[in-house]
Structure 1
Amino acid sequence: MRVAVVLAWPDSYLQRELVLPEGCTVADAIEAAALPGAELAAAVAVHGVLVRPQQVLLDGDRVELLRPLLADPKENRRRRARGGD
């Protein structure tokens, strides 16, 4: 089966197309892709939906390595509500 593993940071974009055996997991794909910086990913998604590393992949899936948030969304909303953009 064919899958893509993508890492998109503000300053770089890496994508690796892989051919893996049926039954491979998200963790298997990330390991096989061996993208530099993958260990910094805060979470993983498949087609934009958060998944666990043990999720089994399907042909054509796109594994997305997500970067950590730079700011806490709740704190940003509180600051805007107080008028302190």
Structure 2
Amino acid sequence: MADTLRVEVVFALPDRQRLIALDVAPGTTMLEAARQSGIAGEFEGLELETAPMGIFGKAEPHPAERVLTDGERVEIYRPLRVDPKAARRARARRGRRDG
């Protein structure tokens, strides 16, 4: 068994993104890796305890329990500003008016 695992933690805003590669101990959870990365200190208002997270685009409902494996990327998601369904309806309405 390896002494450490190589993982990445990533967070992005529309105008800025950050990817941090780090080595963690086997048994490290997503939330622990995010904390260890120090990424929360680089983005004002980023609350790791409540931020939704996923692995390679797949949302993880329990980041504090999900143990990482070597090579995984923890993605920290920001809250959506607009509900996707509402945005689609608005685009459809605009399309009918413009057409």
> What interval of TM-score do these two structures reach, taking the shorter chain for normalisation?
0.7 to 0.9
The aligned residue for residue 50 of structure 1 is: 59
Q: Normalising to structure 2: TM-score of the pair?
A: 0.74
Q: Find the partner of 1:18 among 6, 16, 22.
A: 22
Distance (Å, rounded) in 2 between the aligned partners of 1:46 and 1:14: 16
**Structure with greater Cα Rg:** 2
C-alpha displacement of 1:19 = 0.4
CA-to-aligned-CA distance 1:29-71 (integer Å, 9 cap, x gap): 0100111224277410111111121100000000011111111
Q: Find the partner of 1:77 among 88, 91, 98.
A: 88
C-alpha displacement of 1:84 = 4.1
Structure 1: give runs of 5+ residues left out of the alignment.
none
Structure 2: give runs of 5+ residues left out of the alignment.
none
C-alpha displacement of 1:78 = 3.5
Distance (Å, rounded) in 2 between the aligned partners of 1:24 and 1:58: 9
The worse-fitting range, judged by mean Cα deviation, of 40-49 and 18-27 is: 40-49
- The one-letter code matched in structure 2 to 1:77 is R
RMSD: 1.9
Q: Normalising to structure 1: TM-score of the pair?
A: 0.84
The structure in which a higher percent of residues are strand is: 1
